[in-house]
Amino acid sequence: GQQLNQSPQSMFIQEGEDVSMNCTSSSIFNTWLWYKQDPGEGPVLLIALYKAGELTSNGRLTAQFGITRKDSFLNISASIPSDVGIYFCAGPRTDTGRRALTFGSGTRLQVQP
């Protein structure tokens, strides 16, 4: 199947630290998406990646599309308390003709002020 494995499952860091998380799959993806879910809300798209090797930034966030197309990475620099939440990777599901997404299990980030 197209399972997405995220690590770490959770992180507890100090404000100002940099954060790295990753997402891997046994299947090839042609698109990688990174979402953030704030407590009590639905996920919101942060970054989209469309090409192997692509590096894309959104403010303090940087994401990379792995060269093998089986992984992706998200980095957050100089973390702040509002970075708290769950970060999900996602990609198009081939079992739906790419009409829907599959999501990873998420990385829960907590930031100590």
> Which residues contact other proteins by CB under 8 A?
4, 6, 9, 31, 33, 40-45, 47-48, 88, 92-93, 96-106
Instruction: Determine the residue type at 78.
Output: A
Distance CA(97)–CA(53), nearest Å, equals 24
Please state the closest distance from residue 113 (CB atom) to other proteins, in A. Answer: 25
For residues 1 and 28, what is the distance between their CA atoms, to the nearest angstrom?
11
Residue with Cβ nearer other proteins (14 or 41): 41
Q: Which is nearer to other proteins, 45 or 55 (CB)?
A: 45
Rounded to the nearest whole angstrom, what is the least distance from the CB of residue 16 to other proteins in the complex? 28
Least distance to other proteins, CB of residue 36, Å:
11
CA distances from 76 to 29, 30, 63, 70 (A): 23, 23, 9, 21
Q: One-letter amino acid identity for 22?
A: N
Between residues 37 and 77, which has the closer beta carbon with respect to other proteins?
37
